[in-house]
Amino acid sequence: MENTRREFLNTIQKQYKEFCKSKGVEETVQGFSEYLINRNLIKDLIIRMFLVVDKYEEALKDNLEIKHLAVWALEDIVGLKETRIKTILKHNRLDFRHRERLIPKK
């Protein structure tokens, strides 16, 4: 799988560089992120799940450590219902953690 991931990285970076060159725009992290989303390589549900996991601790602090208030705050941010947010927090919290690895996944 590591070889496949490396090939993906090489391919998508090459395509992004070609895209920027054809449009006459500078290559940026923001532009690359938008490119991945616009190519539909990062789905909207994944974006929402990531935001739920990432923003939960902050929402909890901002809402007096009251879990249901934090979840309600997240509803406004990500546009998901309370039950879906709770499911994401229960089952997907570890999915978006940074792993100290270059590419391999087992």
Q: What contacts 24+ positions apart, CB below 8 Å, involve 74-81? A: 77/51, 78/48, 78/51, 78/52, 79/48, 80/48, 80/52
In this structure, are residues 67 and 52 in contact, taking their beta carbons and an 8 Å threshold? no
Same domain as 62, residue 73? yes
66 lies in a domain? Answer: yes
What are the pLDDT digits (tens) for 58-96?
999 999 999 999 999 999 999 999 999 999 999 998 888
65 lies in a domain? Answer: yes
Same domain as 33, residue 69? no
In this structure, are residues 28 and 19 in contact, taking their beta carbons and an 8 Å threshold? no
- pLDDT greater than 80 at residue 97: no
- In which domain, by residue range, is 13 found? 1-42
| Total of domains in the chain | 2
59 lies in a domain? Answer: yes
Same domain as 23, residue 67? no
